[in-house]
Structure 1
Amino acid sequence: MPLTFTLDPAITPVLRDGILDLWADVSNAGGAVGFVPPVSREEIRPELLRHFVQLAEGRCRLLVGHDESGEVAATAFLTRNAHRLMTHWLWLYTVMVHPRHQGKGYGRDLLAAAADAARGIDGIEAIRLTCRGGLGLERFYASCGYKEVGRVPGAIRVAPGDDREDVIMLLPLG
């Protein structure tokens, strides 16, 4: 059954807790979403609150996918570029699909919904995202239409002696 996507949902305690659970479950399953396992909801909470501040300030938009039981199953944050010469593209951050739903095509559905949302934002011509090298994520994003446009060697330190590339991907919306 497909996910139901909502752009800019009301931030409620239930949604907040659902995103915290999703973020912790994705991180602890090895997902590259800003944390290294093991991580708790309480360790993630300050980062989620920073995202919520950006939402409140109108600098960011939230896309949430709910599964058939109504649980938060996927998220992505669309963030406008603040640099005045780069306002024609936005960043896609914290792209997550719950591990129990992986392999069902929900990641592709999430990226398609994010692209549709970006197309609805006046003046946006492309989406940029970065992903952690060494996990094959760039192949997944490429299969969804993103093009690799750069790599920064050793930019992500997962652990002492375990540095990864930061892979930059671009999706033109034209």
Structure 2
Amino acid sequence: MNSINYKKSAQKLETYKRLSFKEKVSLSKRKIRTALNTHNEPLVSSSFGKDSVTLIYLVKEVTDNFEVVFNKTGIQYKETIEFMRELEDEWDLELHIIEPDKTFWEIVDEYGYPKSSRNSKTGDKRVPKCCKFLKEDPMRDFIEENSFDLDFVGINSGKGSQSDTVVLEGEKEC
């Protein structure tokens, strides 16, 4: 994203942040509908944290024609797995659980512990090996194997500059 587009997008994001809760929900649903108008095989990627559960809820308010995918990295809290199962039943979700080829601990043994890329002061944009092997590669393979043409991802733009950048870049999709 070049600096001019980033500046415009950042201003747009600041405008969105000032909306009322009701306006944010309405805008979110409108963006979901817009994305669904041009896609036939939607997917919601979910960690079953607050942001992605909110997204599942909003997508469910708009359509029942979607599936949900969860990346089981092996290092989630058991309460997260329990909550995921509860929502799967209560909301009648078509849930896919994907698992990586390597465990987190195998990756740590091979590459060392991951450094936080979220707050990197060096400007290093490389994805830590754990994210690549535990999340990105399995997710890419899953989407390709199942022909999904839209992947909704719930990210809170208030988490900091990296999340804001992801939200701004994702904006081009709808």
**Could you say which TM-score interval applies, normalised by the shorter chain?**
0.3 to 0.5
User: Of Structure 1 and Structure 2, which has the larger fraction of its residues in helix?
Assistant: 2
Larger radius of gyration: 2
Q: Which has the higher contact order (CA 8 A, sep 6+)?
A: 2
TM normalised by structure 1 equals: 0.33
User: Of Structure 1 and Structure 2, which has the larger fraction of its residues in strand?
Assistant: 1
